[in-house]
Chain A
Amino acid sequence: MESLIDIVLLAFLVGIAFAIVWMKDLLAVIMLLGIYGLLSASFFVAMDAVDVAFTEASVGAGISTLLMLVTIAMTGRSEHPVRHKPFLALAVVIITGSLLIYGTLDMPYFGSAQAPVHQHVAPRYINDSIEEVGVPNIVTSVLASYRAFDTFGEVVVIFTAGMGVLALLSVVRRPKNTTGDKARDIAKIDLINDSMHEQHLVLRIVTKMLIPFIFLYAFYVQFHGDYGPGGGFQAGVIFASAIFLYAMLFGMSTARRVINQSFIQLLAAIGVLLYGSVGVVSLLNGKNFFDYSALSVDPIAGQHLGILLIELGVGCTVASVMVIIFFSFADRKDNGQNLESNGIENNLKENNKK
């Protein structure tokens, strides 16, 4: 049964990948990419990787689809046909692919317990982590304790990517003392937003009921990560997606009023700092960097405290970076639209004068 599910899901993935190559409408491509994300996440569940499935579900199917949608709303949705003949590309791909397949012939078979991957450090993690770290979820204990330095690097990469997006896409704020004309424009935009809200009455009410639940669930995932699938990465993404939902239905200006830009930037930095400072504290107490047993008299309690703190740091950083990225894109899009509509109005005025 399990191998049947494996075969079928992978066959779906290949079918969708070929359909993505074939399609020219980028919006359809992105819809298919959403299905692709959902499918690969189900595949991860079938392969026992519940934590990975958790992350892929929220990231691959949710956030990356959203970001790509906002982007193609700015850049246009149809792709030009490929002009030159793709024979060269096809030849390169086929040769590389057949070499890789030749390479797989030496690999240990799928699922064999004697494969070299399972011999080196994994037995130590599986057998000893409950005594050394005291957390039932082995993935969390490896992520947050054994390989904490590695994870620190990943968090810094995420932070840097967020700052990069901010540097590329941040829009210049309007000066506060706007003249009457501009103020009227802003009021008009707000009016348009409000009228759009009137149309989505059902959606707004259901969303209002769902959002507190999503926040609660994000906290559950954050703090239950030691005992089940979950942890800072997943919780951060879920937290951010609740904010996306709010921003999409109630308009960016309302969301901006709820979430302050400088506060969210500060929170992203605080997450990284919290993570790093846990390491520094254990260094000051005379143990190795990220050796949490230095945090408390009882080593297991120290491990628990350390994992809790760094997961909190990861959650803060991931959530705020995702919000920063999404807000940058959405702001960019709204501003572009306002410029466009102003341009159209000006054109109309000129035409009327003529």
Chain B
Amino acid sequence: MASHAENGKFHYHEPGLQHQFEDMGQQEESVSIGMWVFLVQEIMFFGGLFTAYLVFRSRFPLAFAEGSNHLDAFWGGLNTLVLIVSSLTMALTVYYAQRGNRNMQVIMILLTMAFGATFLGVKVIEYTDKYNSGLIPVTGWNKRANEAQPAVEERAGAVMPWETAVAAAESGSEKKKPYINPHGEFQWNYGRHVYDYAIEKEKSGKPYLTESERVGYFSNGVFDPNKYRDKIRIFYFIYFVMTGLHALHMIVGLGLMAWLLFVAWRGDFSALYYAPVEMSGLYWHFVDIVWIFLFPLLYLLGRHFLH
């Protein structure tokens, strides 16, 4: 991100040709290649998160569906549309820049910023809702949605299936002590609809739970709400990190737009020199693309379980 801002700046500080370049063409080519290489590394940056998502969703689809069913698909969809519109206006900004149309440029940039801000506003609304429902996976950052949920629990350690009665009793008593809930007072008391739905399906014969789920939701053969909640908590962790990083990129983008607005308003860009607009455009569109994937992955998948 930093390098991007940098990228734009150096046209601004000394408009026209940089000392190290032979001609404008070389300079623009360099800048655009540089921008694309930067986007490549951005893709790999988010790629790590998508890998984590892939691994855990493939292992615990039900818990993920449970979590995503609690997200509000309406807000998510609205945000998607908002971003798409902002992408359009961004593209038009470039379009007018190429025509050297200063006024339309300024207007389009303003529109883009407005939509970007709207997006962030909606995100705030969503995060607040998660906070109020006690779904922030960070210890101590949650409003206590229901006092019934104890922060301090009695929890027996896992008893190895092979252990003899004595050993079991000991390792039980040895471990069974009150401790601060490592689930970080993350509260999931919104039922387990998807799970029940799956159990229904299982009754009809065909196996529905993945192998990981068969061990991941149960302890000693019985359904263990703690473990189920852990998996949902992982979903929310991934949700917050992904959308959070995306929102961070949006904020950087807005800063970029503000600077772009200033320069465009001063009328520095012309049909011959509009590289900064184009580069900022690339960045903005990239952020849009990330969201295009985040929306179905986080909000939609698994919705059909309940409808």
Q: Do A and B bind each other?
A: no
Chain B residues with CB under 8 Å of chain A are none
Chain A residues with CB under 8 Å of chain B are none
